[in-house]
Amino acid sequence: MRIAVVGTGYVGLVTGTCLADSGNTVSCLDINADKIARLKRGEIPIYEPGLEELVERNAAAGRLRFTTDTAAAIRDAEVVFLAVGTPPSDDGSADLSALWSVVDSIASLLHERAVVVTKSTVPVGTCAGIERRLKQRLGRDCRVASNPEFLKEGAAIEDFQKPDRVVVGVRTAEVGDLLRELYLPFLRTENPFLVMSPESSEMTKYVANALLATKISFINEVANLCERMEADIDDVRRGIGHDSRIGFAFLFPGAGYGGSCFPKDVQALAAMARDKGVTPRILSAVHETNLAQKHVLGEKVAAHFAGNLQGRAIAVWGLAFKPRTDDIRDAPSLDLIERLLAGGAVITVFDPEAMENVRAIYGDRLKYAPCAMEALDGAECLVIVTEWGDFRRPDFDDMARRMKGRVIIDGRNLYQPQDLGRRGFTYHCIGKLPVNGR
């Protein structure tokens, strides 16, 4: 099929590349000329495992093109995916300005039989709104469908190529069949292709993210409680997780969720509820709990140093909102950095992939270490924010030699407290009692 993908970010680039890899001819369109120029040169603007090789292969085969030329991308496309950003507005609702601007710019170029598919996460009713807008502009009905994306950054290619399920929201069986054909190469392990109305499909995406965010905020709240009750959240997790109604997935305590999806999608669903006169009690609590959790690491550092951070050398491991991505949108590391800078700390950071994105915000207000160990030289305290695999089994003896103070504040519970205590570290994590080194 001839496909256009509008918006060549994390979702658009992965979608376009994977669809090209299954044999389609794909044009990835973006208004960011610099991004498109880089992609044309074979540079991948984001870090996503496996993406570079796939882009290179499909671009070389002539199946994957990058362009800023709307007409060239849209005119022949049988399916047009919309994958532009839908960030939060001031009131938490999704800002659809990029989406509407795309709809307006492609309307007159759309092939008569083209199907416009929203891959962006959009409020319930957006597909219907696009149908109305296109009809107004073109004086005819257009085929519009919803196809929310469930990929996880850091495992995006794997998720796209082997999805748990594909959800499509369509008005006619014909459009459902067309999308099924497009996804067939990714459904060879019989994972379900679920067809529903665009409204249910749009809602499904928000409910999925809201439920995942709820699990995280729930476990974070009880982890904080465990610390005060002298209980251990890992034991509690084991105690509940074997109950098949509960399970273990997504119940890891931490420094709060970030990224471009959970925070904005929880708020957008709450805004939709308010718009319909429904009070979103759980969603509001999930969001507020998360905002508070993002301050927990900063509070632990401040408490350890009795509120005096002035001139303290603090190392930070992990800046991306999660491992295996360079994405720092809404990352808990940023809340920590703000807090430490406000207190006058001298901060040295390390992240395997996200350093340049953080440097673009903080410039020389931070020091940037070339590797995890060098970030520790002279540090009075290490704070771990992202659970990159590289941080799981460090050389503790080397760490102890490099650090001025053997203090670790671990927002991802990577180590065994008793083990760290024996090695002479003072160790604070989430949902367990701290241990004080010798």
Ligand X SMILES: NC(=O)c1ccc[n+]([C@@H]2O[C@H](COP(=O)([O-])OP(=O)(O)OC[C@H]3O[C@@H](n4cnc5c(N)ncnc54)[C@H](O)[C@@H]3O)[C@@H](O)[C@H]2O)c1
Residues that are catalytic:
261
Shortest Å distance, C-beta 375 to ligand X? 27
Residues that bind ligand X (CB under 6 A): 6-12, 29-32, 35, 83-86, 98, 101-102, 120-121, 149, 151, 153, 260-261
Helix (H, G, I), strand (E, B) or coil at 3: strand
Which H or E run contains 72? helix 70-74
Distance in angstroms (rounded) separating the CA atoms of residues 62 and 362? 40
Place of tokens 């080397």: 398
CA pair distance 294, 430, nearest whole angstrom = 12
Query: What is the longest distance spanned by two Cα atoms in the chain?
Result: 77
The minimum distance between CB 109 and ligand X, in angstroms, equals 13
Enumerate the β-bridge partners of residue 118. Answer: 82, 146
Smallest separation (angstroms) from ligand X to the CB of 15: 9
| Alpha-carbon span 405 to 418, nearest angstrom | 18
Q: Which of 310, 330, 311 is nearest to 321 (CA)?
A: 330
Is-contact 301 416, C-beta < 8 A?
no
Task: State the Cα–Cα distance between residues 211 and 413, nearest whole angstrom.
Answer: 23
Whichever of 17 and 413 has its CB closer to ligand X, that residue is: 17
Nearer to ligand X, 131 or 202 (CB): 202
Residue showing the smallest CB distance to ligand X in the complex: 9
Contacts with 361 (C-beta within 8 Å, 6 or more apart), sequence order: 328, 334
Rounded Cα gap, residues 4 and 15, in angstroms: 10
Q: Whole-number minimum distance, CB 70 to ligand X, in Å? A: 8
Which lies closer to ligand X via its Cβ, residue 25 or residue 121? 121
Q: Which residues contact 258 (CB under 8 A, 6 or more apart)?
A: 294, 321, 322, 328, 329, 330, 331, 332, 334
> Are β-strands 193-196 and 313-317 bridged in parallel, bridged antiparallel, or unpaired?
unpaired
In whole angstroms, how close is the CB of 159 to ligand X at the nearest point? 9
Query: Measured from the CB of residue 411, what is the shortest distance to ligand X in angstroms?
Result: 21
Residue 126's nearest CA partner among 56, 206, 51, 187 is: 206
Q: Give whichever of 120 and 413 is closer to ligand X, judged by the CB atom.
A: 120
Closer residue to ligand X, CB minimum distance, 84 or 340: 84
